[in-house]
Structure 1
């Protein structure tokens, strides 16, 4: 392995740090920096290009580095500077090694070696010899693996994450085949970073942990430190900043131990980012200042520019806009010095934001327009979308509503084009949409300010469940190609209300920037509400959310949580533990549910149907997905379920798809031969948290009695205990028209697709049927009832709830009945039995659920016993 020292020092360091500067570059680069000091104009230009190539290599821009060096080489040859020519040729050779281009690497290195010997440059000669030896000894398989690795890095850099993952996976197979542990660790680290960027944090951590184990096994302290830093990045994406800080501190200790100043500076920057997310700005600025000092000490101008920009963001968040602008200007100067157009555009955009906070809209617009021009020039579509979004925001704040509307509509077109490039990968689309949701909200505000309420409804609908709608479009298509769904026009939304013969209520939570104690903070501002009647009539109303945080020191999210807490609702997330709650308090629960009723229902109460049998379908957003709408109480204490028949849906367009699924399946009377019923499986052992000892889930005798009772009603044979294996259930699911699963449910609020239903393990599985596994099925069930805890929960995103209900609808089910908390055993058995008795008399599922709730309420008045279940999709 000693003959591969150069590769390990340079190639793998680069690979493990896709988004970070490279530390400990070999003497080649140090030598080139020393040589770039003479004053002659042409030589100075060549030396600048050589240095620029070094800087580009440090941030993984290998192709750009090669272009810089090729320009430098032309000048060095023109002025007959043999030392500069030699340095550049060897630099090119090493870069070609990164790219897996062995032939070009050897050609360039051989020329560089001749010049190194001629000029008696021993350091350069040594590097050229080692590089050549490595290049000539590389097997074709290793060359291919290195090429794939470099290809993946380039794809990651331009946000082609799916392609990058494929390249890395192919490289990993080869590295393992040829037993290259260093290449394996590098590829695992890259996979981890890319999975962080696409929102699959469980895989990100898994791959980084594997990379960490290898770096420790081969005693590679430098890359051990880098991998620990990457684990910190993964936990930062998860929002677990304390864990991120823990990993960053371990990485920092190694960087200091081995005197890796460049990575030390990067980790200090990451620590600043983590503390910024925690709002601890004294530590933020302390870490950024330390990082800045290191960047200046080692003359890392690129790193200096990055940290200056971060300091600007920190001071902007502190409300010190003058200081923020000062740092942004310094960051901008460095970006221009290196002709780094991407960083220049980012700095200009930040300056625009700072000036908008100062109320200097003319300057803000000017800077945002410059940022936009650069993004378009360098064909940075993501940057273009962000610049357009920011420019639209400034137009809005300055009262230029027409310009704001035009700009924001263009921004949305750009952002949606980015989603289209992700192909069929649903998880990537969900992840990227989280970053885009603000633009849809801003456009809604602009339209409402112009009294364009119907157009605002179209944008509200367009700004939710997009990935879900695209997934359903693809699933319902007969062609095996990506299908772009129709944009939700007003006529389509009205048509959906008519098809459902229901009143649709769509909510949109609007946020604004407010100056609080001298700092600019984002807070809830208003709740937009649209009501579409079965006739197609559309009415807009709104509720003021500012008093929640201005007067009551709470938020809508907290209000939803406390209302659930006071009825004694608990939840058991997949990641372990019971979500903390208050002791049940009937009077406080009533107060909270009445407060929610005042915000959500009172503004539109006169628009809701008068007949209690007429359906109301609520389209929630964010924390409103956790609201038990049936339990909301009016001023007289009357529950909403007593007045209305209630359903929910992630969006109006999803309703259109569930309607099409229902047409595909048709309607049949509920019969035993078409029914799959599961009750109280032999519970699996599951680890409540990563690293903990698995424990068996507790049996549910009430669920068993429930399944037996329903089976008698429907004349079906239930799967009880050992019979309810995953293999048996999955085999029978595609043929079943009615599915009832009475067991434990577990939700994962970080990785929604890990949410699952507990079944009997068969030895080859863990006994958990996950949302991810259901997503891959093709079902023909008219109704699936998940009579278990928290089956309506999961990861809350701008695309809705990522969990079991979404997967079931995607798999072809038009009606899904799920729960919003850990349901009590005995009352749930009563409610479900009543539900099926009602369903046998009347095929209207929403009516059957309403009557079952009213019956259960009489025997168990606390809403925790009867209000947890929500019907998503079709009522009939």
Structure 2
């Protein structure tokens, strides 16, 4: 999507009622049935409102109709019609809250006079407003009464829902509208199969309805984009048969989308509906720009559609579609970039033509006096001048956009874009403080609406990496560079660093939320910010002797923030302490290369007789030694390091960094843990219960065409865990299937769940699963559903252990699966492997860990630390310990990490 989720919801807000009900401009006919001789003044007010509405003077229409309602007083037959049309006028003005209030009042009034058929129609219209506001679940509740999951095949809507009312009263038009709005709402929550189902039903009832056809095109296009995402994920995890399958299905859906857009355009032309024709043309053109490689839309069709769109745009009446259409065409590219974030030189139209379209969009938005339209039009024109480096013009239009967006707080969804844009322009003018203030406002606005935009359609509607992530990183980097410049006083530094921490923490939460596509992972989010948590006396025991190290990867360099309870936050750029000269900062690219080298060396380290610690020592010098030298993490006082990693650093087992001076691995000095955010990690001592559910797979398996090898050492690992927990239940091989797993969890509470099997953490959650017996799998969603007893505090899982897992190659987001799986299912702590170590070493490490874990007073991080240290000392131990001398190699012990609660 090119501008923002909200903008496209508005542009595609197909008003089914205009075509199907003919209510909007024939309002006076309705009033002819309800006005009474006792209210002649009200009758006049209504007619004046109708005339104002027809001429596009919606503010005036609202004033007349509000006065009419007062005149009608206790006449619900009359106020129902007035409120219904007031709702439409408010929508035209972009005042959605007022529209909701008026439509809700109309529903109440129609109900009072037992006009149930109209109750259903207005419920559908109200649902459409909610859908456009990014609240599709509310829309579905109004139209159907219940929201279906992806798996449900058949859904029976409730009797009081709009869909059922239309069926009961044989309201054909109402039924098509209900199905159309229902289909669009399901599309917005990412359930494309169900969206297509409802829209196809609407098409059967109204084959030439261009609005339904346009919505079907959008649904098929969105499903194709999701299939593209799945194909890319399958490619990275080497599921070649799935890649081909997803690609074929994607192509079929894109073709279907093209066909529906073309049909929509054809029927809109036949019915002389120019606004709908324009929407269809824009959708077809955008489809072409999104599928340039596969040529879903051939060049001739693209060029003809573009010419038609430009011609149609000229003749359109002033409208939302005209404004957004002009912006879309001005910034049209033959690729999927986000033009209002970065600058592009690949616009389809000549620069002077793009400028003319943008200028006309501003004039049209001013004529309509719609704040949201004025905001986008001015912001888009401001960005045009930003890219042409005319900072004066760019700032003028951008500030106009901010004023329009901020009017009545009606366009927060665009406000953050323009505040961010203003920040970039101010930065180019060397007004650093003003730029940061603008970035901060953009960040705060985005925080308010982040949940809606990140969870609505994470796969299509909102490109997190194009929009949210760069803003957060830009703000953090600007603040940090300002701190380094010496402009900030020593007194102001703690407050500035606190804001940097807050920004970084929000980024990590947003990434997690966007990855999973819902807000379940944030259900236990602490309302306090990180620095407030560290100052909270109630947490003093949990944070005692513990330091938190947050990494942040920025443009060209990487920083680390150090925090501990009741102490000042410290910050350092990662530097090469052994390099001579002044420019010691390690570039982010160089760090990424070194991290990849370190990880590759560890994974292949078992082939070496003696592990080469050179890279591990270099990284230690860059990332840890500066804090040691400053006394911030003195081993005398600090016992545990908790890492909150960013990007490619998530895949690094920090325990294996090497101190060449002390000739020790980092884990020999400190217990190590990791968490995405302190705000979703509750550090609490575990309970004393020691009951375990042990699940294991020793056999080979084939999942989605991918082969998973036998795990010969799993039986030994399972036996070791059984030995530590006599009070256990085990499900091995053919007994370890999803149904049995769910059944056991429903019957009994297990504080410890240990899974010894292949576990894959994919680029997207759909490819994140645990391999079970009989060639089956438990997806992360199924795992979450199986652990429903977590809602009961007495039944929560304290520790989830997943061994022998493997992560996807080439995408650092896949490691969010490791951190997120525990948080998603609500467990307090997790032990997991950063890569597969199918060896007897795993069973030995697990056995040692659980022996330590069972000791009173030992934290989870310390239990793993002690087990890893024992393996490091393998060559020094007596033979009676049964420790293979090769296990001192970090390849065997480093991949295992603690996630979440570390105490």
2:652 — aligned with what?
627
1:828 — aligned with what?
842
Contact 1:771–1:804 (CA under 8 A) maintained in structure 2: no
Matches within 5 A, 1:289-300: 289-290=306-307, 292-293=309-310, 295-296=312-313, 299=316
Offset at residue 586 of structure 1 (A): 12
- CA deviation profile, 1:538-589 (whole Å, cap 9, x unmatched): 32111489xxxx99996877876676567669xxxxxxxxxxxxx9999999
- Count of equivalent residues: 736
Offset at residue 648 of structure 1 (A): 0.7
Q: Please say if 1:385 is aligned against 2:416.
A: yes
2:859 — aligned with what?
844
Q: Please say if 1:50 is aligned against 2:54.
A: yes
Offset at residue 619 of structure 1 (A): 0.7
Q: Please say if 1:485 is aligned against 2:528.
A: yes
Offset at residue 346 of structure 1 (A): 0.8
Structure 2 CA distance for partners of 1:551 and 1:256, relative to 1, 3 Å: farther
- CA deviation profile, 1:651-673 (whole Å, cap 9, x unmatched): 23344xx22x43xx54x3x74xx
User: SS at the partner of 1:369?
Assistant: helix
Q: 2:754 aligns with which of 740, 756, 759?
A: 740
Offset at residue 378 of structure 1 (A): 4.6
1:205 — aligned with what?
192
Offset at residue 484 of structure 1 (A): 4.0
When normalised by structure 1's length, the TM-score is 0.67
Q: 1:348 aligns with which of 367, 378, 396?
A: 378
Contact 1:683–1:697 (CA under 8 A) maintained in structure 2: yes
- CA deviation profile, 1:404-451 (whole Å, cap 9, x unmatched): 3444444444334446899999999x9898854544433323322331
Contact 1:188–1:211 (CA under 8 A) maintained in structure 2: yes
Structure 2 CA distance for partners of 1:170 and 1:814, relative to 1, 3 Å: closer
Structure 1 portions without partners, runs of 5+: 1-14, 34-42, 54-63, 75-87, 108-134, 477-482, 511-523, 570-582, 689-694
Q: Please say if 1:709 is aligned against 2:734.
A: no
Structure 2 portions without partners, runs of 5+: 1-7, 27-46, 69-80, 90-98, 147-156, 233-246, 270-276, 334-338, 514-518, 577-584, 873-884
Mapped to 2, the partners of 1:793 and 1:496 lie a distance apart of: 39
Structure 2 CA distance for partners of 1:762 and 1:871, relative to 1, 3 Å: same
Contact 1:726–1:767 (CA under 8 A) maintained in structure 2: no
Matches within 5 A, 1:185-200: 190=181, 193-194=184-185, 197=188, 200=189
Structure 2 CA distance for partners of 1:863 and 1:216, relative to 1, 3 Å: farther
Mapped to 1, the partners of 2:616 and 2:846 lie a distance apart of: 24
Contact 1:792–1:818 (CA under 8 A) maintained in structure 2: no
User: SS at the partner of 1:530?
Assistant: strand
Contact 2:382–2:393 (CA under 8 A) maintained in structure 1: yes
Q: 2:259 aligns with which of 253, 258, 263?
A: 253
Mapped to 1, the partners of 2:540 and 2:446 lie a distance apart of: 26
Q: Please say if 1:214 is aligned against 2:232.
A: no
Q: Please say if 1:336 is aligned against 2:366.
A: yes
Contact 1:245–1:271 (CA under 8 A) maintained in structure 2: no
Matches within 5 A, 1:753-832: 755-758=768-771, 769-771=782-784, 773-774=786-787, 777-778=790-791, 779-790=795-806, 803=817, 805-806=819-820, 808-809=822-823, 813-824=827-838, 826-832=840-846
User: SS at the partner of 1:743?
Assistant: strand
Offset at residue 459 of structure 1 (A): 2.6
1:368 — aligned with what?
398
1:514 — aligned with what?
none
Offset at residue 347 of structure 1 (A): 1.8
Contact 1:761–1:767 (CA under 8 A) maintained in structure 2: no
Superposed CA RMSD = 6.0
Q: Please say if 1:499 is aligned against 2:543.
A: yes
Contact 1:32–1:51 (CA under 8 A) maintained in structure 2: no
Q: 2:328 aligns with which of 284, 306, 310?
A: 310
Matches within 5 A, 1:419-498: 436-451=468-483, 454-463=494-503, 464=505, 465-466=508-509, 475=524, 484-486=527-529, 488-489=531-532, 492=535
User: SS at the partner of 1:390?
Assistant: helix
Mapped to 1, the partners of 2:379 and 2:809 lie a distance apart of: 37
- CA deviation profile, 1:760-812 (whole Å, cap 9, x unmatched): 79999999842355477234444332225258999977xx9765754644766
Mapped to 1, the partners of 2:205 and 2:61 lie a distance apart of: 35
User: SS at the partner of 2:764?
Assistant: coil
User: SS at the partner of 1:777?
Assistant: helix
User: SS at the partner of 1:525?
Assistant: coil
When normalised by structure 2's length, the TM-score is 0.65
Matches within 5 A, 1:208-287: 208-211=195-198, 214=201, 220=207, 222=210, 223-224=212-213, 226-236=215-225, 240=229, 247-256=253-262, 259-260=266-267, 262=277, 263-271=279-287, 274=290
Contact 1:497–1:534 (CA under 8 A) maintained in structure 2: no
Mapped to 2, the partners of 1:682 and 1:182 lie a distance apart of: 58
Offset at residue 251 of structure 1 (A): 2.5
User: SS at the partner of 1:448?
Assistant: helix
Mapped to 2, the partners of 1:682 and 1:65 lie a distance apart of: 71
Q: Please say if 1:155 is aligned against 2:130.
A: yes
Q: Please say if 1:414 is aligned against 2:418.
A: no
User: SS at the partner of 1:159?
Assistant: coil
Mapped to 2, the partners of 1:422 and 1:456 lie a distance apart of: 28
Contact 1:509–1:526 (CA under 8 A) maintained in structure 2: yes
User: SS at the partner of 2:862?
Assistant: helix
- CA deviation profile, 1:513-533 (whole Å, cap 9, x unmatched): xxxxxxxxxxx3332211235
